[in-house]
């Protein structure tokens, strides 16, 4: 068993599935953390920097739903909280290989006013210390001291005017707060427009996405968050022993796993007018893959999920069922509750793929192949990879949804595009992803060797790796050979996560089986030997599915820190 034999698996390549599941990132996603916004981790991004390709940009956002006009105190990072971005680059060694830890201090420069900014003085002015550990958290070195967090973008009087800060404009405050760490990273901490976008009001009203009545609304439109942004040389993130130049664009040595967290001290003692935190640090929020804890984990386990590290998931046994048989798939299957959510009607899970395989809730998926000659030598071969991907009957999504959250996807049959497979999904096909890092936990996994798709390229798509798969299956020259070659958007989610990637759309399509289809497990309306093209109406339905909210409400910047400047308190409707 993989769970009990972590060490045995290291060095071996496992498997597959490149999509995930769910719907609205992680804003107030679990009961306990919903009441502690200052420590609430909302999103994590990791992508190769488009303007600086020998670096990776890591972003973690905190404090959901900030109102730009939320005065008099506005919002800022909390004291007595450890905000951390964690990187694993070697599944053979337990725990993080690189850890960045931010801690913050708040000062009132003029405690005599109720205004946040007045006459050049700033209240709740926040500065930070950044520490880095390269030894799994055993020791930390301080790499930034007294880093500046810009104020909130209150309005023109507070920011630009002489009675306020007298800044040239808000952008100059943001630029001025960018600093270089002593160890070479570029760093920014501060308020930004929330880069996530989703129709919260629709999706959480029992899955009304896209809305069946009325226009779609971006539930995070005109909202800010506080972001930690670090641009790190790939050389710093690279696994010890990895070649300085990747062997190819899917070099397995170039995979990192990224997650973020917030921790508080165990004991808070409040007294009139003060509070004192003491004791050990306890993790209260974490995030790796978007939306895991928002819509995969049900309410009864959300707080539990937040309390674990990804490394603890390897011994957990209660969470796996939610990936084997995700709740969302109930609503994409006419045998269950498919009829109850009309908005999902284009999304139907395969129930008879290739005439045989049923991926519906509680069904067997590929389990009937277990131990057969057909899977010999593939990632599904127990002799090579253990029983992880085919752990038992009734665990339909153990071959796609489970691995993408827990191990990433290797460049190995059957996890290659159907191109070149000649109708056999288990045959070798065209490579398109390798973000395999089998540590067993929820992380955003990025292969740093994959080239960057220019944000101005006509082929750039917020559909991320789905767009790359579609191109690899349908567009020449990509679909004319099985060579490893760069297909635009191979650098997109779930191979890392770019700011633009529409993870809600991609994950909903994945729950409905689009990843299975990409590797040749076609939809029910493809009849082998009869149907001419696997690009059937059902597949087109899934690919044509839209949530109604397909991009952020503000454009991202072309240069670090890429995030849009925060909404101004005087510029928003309400």
461-500: which residues touch other proteins (CB under 8 A)? Answer: 462
Nearest in space to 308 (alpha carbons), one of 271, 283, 272? 283
Q: Which residue's CB is nearer to other proteins, number 105 or number 139?
A: 105
Q: Is 299 in the site for other proteins (CB under 8 A)?
A: yes
Q: CB–CB of 238/90 below 8 Å?
A: no
The least distance separating other proteins from the CB of residue 110, rounded to whole angstroms, comes to 8
Site string for other proteins, 539-558 (x = CB under 8 A): -------x-xxxx-xx----
Q: Is 504 in the site for other proteins (CB under 8 A)?
A: no
The least distance separating other proteins from the CB of residue 168, rounded to whole angstroms, comes to 17
Q: Which stretch binds other proteins (CB under 8 A): 139-147, 260-268, 368-376, 477-485?
A: 260-268
Cα 505 from Cα 520, distance rounded (Å): 21
Touching other proteins, residues 333-392 (CB under 8 A) = 340
Residues in the chain: 574
Longest dimension (CA), the chain: 80
Q: Which residue's CB is nearer to other proteins, number 190 or number 207?
A: 207
The least distance separating other proteins from the CB of residue 309, rounded to whole angstroms, comes to 9
Q: Is 272 in the site for other proteins (CB under 8 A)?
A: yes
Q: Which stretch binds other proteins (CB under 8 A): 92-100, 129-137, 292-300, 395-403?
A: 292-300
Cα 87 from Cα 85, distance rounded (Å): 7
Touching other proteins, residues 144-183 (CB under 8 A) = 154-158, 161, 163-164
Q: Which stretch binds other proteins (CB under 8 A): 225-233, 249-257, 270-278, 393-401?
A: 270-278
Q: CB–CB of 392/380 below 8 Å?
A: no
The least distance separating other proteins from the CB of residue 375, rounded to whole angstroms, comes to 32
The least distance separating other proteins from the CB of residue 422, rounded to whole angstroms, comes to 32
By CB under 8 A, the count of residues binding other proteins is 111
Q: Which residue's CB is nearer to other proteins, number 456 or number 532?
A: 456
Number of Cβ within 10 Å of residue 356's Cβ equals 11
Q: Is 112 in the site for other proteins (CB under 8 A)?
A: yes
Q: Is 69 in the site for other proteins (CB under 8 A)?
A: yes
Number of Cβ within 10 Å of residue 4's Cβ equals 10
Phi, psi of 490 (to 5 degrees): -65, -15
Cα 23 from Cα 139, distance rounded (Å): 37
Q: Is 260 in the site for other proteins (CB under 8 A)?
A: no
The least distance separating other proteins from the CB of residue 216, rounded to whole angstroms, comes to 5
Does residue 264 sit in helix, strand or coil? strand
- Out of 12, 137, 253, 265, point to the residue binding other proteins (CB under 8 A): 265
Q: Which residue's CB is nearer to other proteins, number 419 or number 552?
A: 552
Tokens of 265: 């001290």
The least distance separating other proteins from the CB of residue 367, rounded to whole angstroms, comes to 23
- Out of 67, 134, 354, 535, point to the residue binding other proteins (CB under 8 A): 67
The least distance separating other proteins from the CB of residue 385, rounded to whole angstroms, comes to 30
Site string for other proteins, 11-50 (x = CB under 8 A): -------------x--xxxxxx-xxxxx------------
- Out of 25, 41, 90, 283, point to the residue binding other proteins (CB under 8 A): 283
Q: Is 192 in the site for other proteins (CB under 8 A)?
A: no
Q: Which residue's CB is nearer to other proteins, number 251 or number 294?
A: 294
Residue with tokens 């996807």: 409
Cα 371 from Cα 383, distance rounded (Å): 8
The least distance separating other proteins from the CB of residue 333, rounded to whole angstroms, comes to 16
Q: Is 61 in the site for other proteins (CB under 8 A)?
A: no
Q: Which residue's CB is nearer to other proteins, number 154 or number 446?
A: 154
Q: Which residue's CB is nearer to other proteins, number 111 or number 241?
A: 111
Q: Which stretch binds other proteins (CB under 8 A): 68-76, 90-98, 235-243, 378-386?
A: 68-76
Element housing 129 (H / E)? strand 125-133
Tokens of 192: 């930004």
Q: Are strands 224-233 and 186-193 parallel, antiparallel or unpaired?
A: antiparallel
Q: How far apart are the first and last CA of the chain?
A: 53
Cα 463 from Cα 472, distance rounded (Å): 14
The least distance separating other proteins from the CB of residue 274, rounded to whole angstroms, comes to 7
Q: Which residue's CB is nearer to other proteins, number 157 or number 455?
A: 157
Tokens of 413: 């049959």
Q: CB–CB of 242/254 below 8 Å?
A: yes
The least distance separating other proteins from the CB of residue 500, rounded to whole angstroms, comes to 10
Touching other proteins, residues 198-227 (CB under 8 A) = 199-208, 211, 213-222
Integer angstrom CA distances of residue 318 from 35, 192, 273, 287, 498: 25, 36, 42, 18, 31
**For residue 66, what are the β-bridge partners?**
224
Q: CB–CB of 323/405 below 8 Å?
A: yes
Axis-axis angle for helices 503-511, 464-474 (nearest 10): 60
Q: Is 129 in the site for other proteins (CB under 8 A)?
A: no
Q: Which residue's CB is nearer to other proteins, number 81 or number 230?
A: 81
The least distance separating other proteins from the CB of residue 166, rounded to whole angstroms, comes to 12
CA 224 to chain centre: 18
Nearest in space to 355 (alpha carbons), one of 201, 222, 530? 530
The least distance separating other proteins from the CB of residue 463, rounded to whole angstroms, comes to 9
Q: CB–CB of 1/19 below 8 Å?
A: no
- Give the per-residue SS3 of 154-208: CCHHHHCCCCCCCCCCHHHHHHHCCEECCCCCEEEEEEEECCCCCCHHHHCCCCC
Q: Is 72 in the site for other proteins (CB under 8 A)?
A: yes
Q: Which residue's CB is nearer to other proteins, number 54 or number 275?
A: 275
- Out of 271, 317, 383, 476, point to the residue binding other proteins (CB under 8 A): 271
Q: Is 57 in the site for other proteins (CB under 8 A)?
A: no
Residue with tokens 């900014």: 117
Radius of gyration over alpha carbons of the chain, in Å? 24
């Amino acid at each position: 068993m993989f769970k009990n034999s972590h060490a045995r698996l290291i060095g071996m390549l496992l498997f597959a599935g490149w999509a995930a599941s769910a719907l609205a990132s992680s804003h107030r996603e679990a009961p306990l953390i919903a009441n502690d916004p200052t420590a609430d981790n909302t999103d994590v991004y990791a992508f190769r920097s488009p303007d600086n390709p020998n670096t990776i940009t890591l972003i973690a956002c905190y404090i959901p739903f900030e109102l730009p006009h939320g005065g008099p105190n506005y919002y800022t990072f909390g004291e007595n909280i450890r905000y951390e971005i964690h990187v694993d680059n070697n599944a053979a060694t337990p725990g993080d290989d690189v850890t960045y830890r931010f801690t913050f201090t708040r000062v009132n420069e003029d405690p005599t006013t109720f205004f946040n900014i007045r006459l050049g003085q700033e209240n709740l002015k926040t500065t930070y210390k950044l520490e880095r550990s390269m030894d799994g958290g055993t020791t930390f070195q301080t790499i930034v001291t007294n880093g500046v967090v810009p104020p909130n973008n209150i309005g023109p009087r507070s920011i630009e005017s002489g009675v306020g800060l007298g800044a040239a404009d808000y952008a100059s405050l943001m630029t001025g707060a960018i600093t270089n760490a002593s160890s070479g990273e570029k760093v920014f901490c501060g308020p930004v427009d929330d880069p996530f976008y989703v129709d919260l009001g629709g999706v959480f009203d029992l899955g009304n996405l896209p809305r069946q009545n009325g226009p779609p609304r971006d539930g995070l439109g005109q909202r800010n968050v506080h972001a930690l942004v670090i641009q790190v040389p790939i050389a710093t993130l690279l696994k010890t022993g990895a070649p300085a130049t990747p062997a190819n664009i899917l070099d397995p040595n170039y995979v990192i796993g990224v997650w973020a967290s917030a921790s508080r001290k165990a004991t808070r003692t409040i007294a009139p007018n003060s509070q004192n935190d003491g004791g050990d640090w306890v993790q209260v929020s974490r995030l790796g893959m978007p939306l895991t804890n928002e819509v995969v984990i049900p309410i009864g386990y959300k707080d539990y999920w937040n309390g674990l590290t990804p490394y603890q998931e390897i011994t957990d046994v209660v969470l796996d069922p939610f990936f084997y048989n995700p709740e969302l798939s109930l609503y994409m299957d006419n045998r269950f509750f498919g009829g109850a959510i009309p908005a999902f009607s284009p999304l139907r899970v395969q129930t008879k793929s290739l005439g045989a395989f049923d991926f519906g809730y509680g069904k067997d998926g590929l389990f009937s192949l277990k131990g057969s000659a057909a899977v010999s030598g593939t990632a599904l071969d127990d002799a090579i990879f253990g029983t992880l991907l085919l752990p038992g009957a009734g665990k339909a999504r153990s071959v796609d949804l489970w691995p993408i959250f827990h191990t990433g996807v290797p460049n190995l049959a059957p996890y290659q595009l159907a191109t070149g497979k000649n109708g056999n999904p288990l045959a070798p096909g065209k490579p398109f992803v390798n973000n395999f890092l089998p540590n067993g936990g929820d992380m955003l996994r990025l292969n740093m060797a994959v080239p960057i798709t220019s944000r101005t390229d006509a082929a750039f798509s917020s559909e991320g790796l789905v767009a790359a798969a579609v191109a690899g299956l349908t567009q020449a020259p990509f679909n004319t050979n099985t060579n490893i070659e760069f297909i635009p958007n191979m650098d997109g989610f779930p191979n890392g996560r770019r700011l633009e990637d529409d993870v809600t759309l991609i994950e909903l399509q994945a729950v409905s089986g689009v990843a299975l289809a990409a590797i040749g497990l076609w939809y029910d309306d493809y009849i082998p030997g009869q149907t001419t093209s696997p690009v059937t109406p059902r597949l087109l339905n899934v690919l044509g599915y839209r949530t109604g909210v397909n991009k952020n409400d503000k454009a991202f910047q072309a240069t670090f820190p890429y995030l849009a400047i925060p909404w101004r308190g005087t510029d928003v409707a309400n």
